[in-house]
Amino acid sequence: MAAALVPGSALAQTAAPRVQSEYEAGWVNDALGMRHYSGLSCPNRMGSLTRTKVMPTGRTRIAGCIYTSDQGLQVVIRQHAQDTGPTEADLFARTYLKAGFAPVRLSGVAGRGITFRTSGNADRSLLETLWHFRGRSADYTLWIAYTLPEHEMALEPAFLDVETQLARLR
């Protein structure tokens, strides 16, 4: 007699798909952090950023890394198939607009990306910015969540640290 999978039953809980480990997902340790078979390198530290996680291949990404800073910045670097960075940036913009978030025009490095205010007001705002970069064999996106005015001085150094790291791959 076959057992039925009923939500909440012990059998249903064990039927969940197994999550791949970092190593099964194409990541290996290297001297400075982790490296994906695709060539994306995610050092343990990049300036004030500390790597907290690596991501496996997903629907639109080849690989990715998540970083945080001591100041509270949240940073995600993703590697995409070549020539898909502009499409990813357009998708980001359309999705945030559809969700009702307000686009924001900023100066400095934030002005080079696509920025939305996701909460807050004119005095204190949570912002999310996405940049896309072209590489020789892959495209990359960089997403940073930050609060202004608190992170005003931390944003540019974090961006430049990632840009320098990606330039080594391009």
| Residue 36 is assigned to a structural domain of this protein | no
Q: What is the pLDDT of residues 124-164, one digit of tens each?
A: 999 999 999 998 889 999 999 999 999 999 999 999 999 99
| Residue 61 is assigned to a structural domain of this protein | no
CATH number at residue 160: 3.30.530
Q: Which of 58-67, 84-93, 105-114 has the lowest mean pLDDT?
A: 58-67
Between 10 and 68, the higher pLDDT residue = 68
pLDDT of residue 32: 87
Sheet holding 45-46, edge to edge: 45-46, 49-55, 63-69, 74-81, 138-148, 125-134, 114-120, 102-104
pLDDT of residue 5: 46
Give the number of domains in the chain: 1
pLDDT at 12 over 50: no
The predicted model scores a pTM of 0.83
Q: What is the pLDDT of residues 88-106, one digit of tens each?
A: 999 999 999 999 999 999 9
| Residue 99 is assigned to a structural domain of this protein | yes
Domain range spanning residue 140?
66-169
